[in-house]
Amino acid sequence: MVALVLLPGAVRAQEVPVYKFAVDVDLVELHVTVLDEKDRPVSGLKKEHFKILENRVVQPISLFKHEDIPVSLGLVIDNSRSIEPRKQRLDAAALSFVRKSNPEDETFIIHFDDTARIAQNFTASVSDLETTLAGVKPYGQTAIYDALHLALDKMTEAKHNKKAVLLITDGVDNVSAKTLEETVEKVKRDRVAVYVVGLLSLSGGLQAEQSMIRIADASGGRAYFPQNVDEARTTMERIARDLREQYTLGYLPTNPNRDGAWRSVRVEITPPAGFPQKLNANYRHGYYGPEK
């Protein structure tokens, strides 16, 4: 018979070991929309046709996908008084956007007027979205910046890595507690693409347009300014198409510094023979690096 003597610490040694998996949190993902001169998506490009530069230094591409991956979406919809004559048709356009997106997407809705509020939590049910859109009556003024801050905060609950916000508005922000500068800074820090569909009035339209372009560009999204509701619907369907056609590129930065500094990013495309030689790429043009 063998006697087993437990010395101090021996019990601890017999405990089930804890395995730790190394997760590389420094991977930078870029979702790149590639369009030809007629604004049509370009498919068929390969990894070797792309080059990524971070602060002008070429980065080795470690992730490349061109497939329709699910997206976590936020519909941020103007509910101010001025939207009332077009509300039903814009709601229908927003639903068309969802229907033309990936069926595995999850979507939430934020309405804004004097204030911004979550009207519908993440859902994959189009009927839930339809009920939510139909259940509000336009009121008050236009808190665009507050609504975008709320939407970006809500995205922390998203289950998909790819995230986008569709902002639908017809005016200039006139009541938000947040400022334009604060909003631009937030979209630079949060990796969520913001797409804007702005049906802007002549009164304040130029100011609103410039603000929306700044926000969309900083996020890696894009701002559109259709002239009427029919054009708005076509634009939303185009955004849904572009999201489904994006290339996903990823790289591990060669810069080892963990100083939280801003890093500029540029994507260059060299199309092969037989492809349009003038291509436009839309993507996030930088990010804040990791911190210690």
User: Cβ of 272: how many Cβ atoms within 10 Å?
Assistant: 11
The pLDDT of residue 251 is above 80: yes
The pLDDT of residue 193 is above 60: yes
Domains of the chain: 28-67+246-288 (no CATH), 72-244 (3.40.50.410)
Q: What is the pLDDT of residue 202?
A: 58
Q: What is the pLDDT of residue 71?
A: 98
- What confidence tier does 203 reach under pLDDT thresholds 50, 70, 90? low
Q: For the chain, what is the mean pLDDT?
A: 91
Q: Which residue has the tokens 């009920």?
A: 131
Q: Which residue has the tokens 């210690």?
A: 292
β-sheet with 57-59: strand ranges across: 57-59, 50-54, 262-269, 286-288
Smallest CA-to-CA distance from 107 within 121, 95, 119 is with 121
pLDDT above 70 as % of the chain: 90
Residue 195 forms beta bridges with which residues? Answer: 166, 222
d(CA 268, CA 59): 12
Q: Is the pTM of this model over 0.75?
A: yes
The pLDDT of residue 7 is above 70: no
d(CA 177, CA 146): 7
Residues 54, 59, 63, 64, CA torsion sign: positive
51: exposed, middle or buried (Cβ count in 10 Å: 0-12, 13-18, 19+): middle
- What confidence tier does 171 reach under pLDDT thresholds 50, 70, 90? confident
d(CA 128, CA 149): 23
Please give the residue that has the higher pLDDT: either 51 or 15.
51
CB-based contacts of 13, cutoff 8 Å, min separation 6: none
Residue 248 forms beta bridges with which residues? Answer: 31, 65
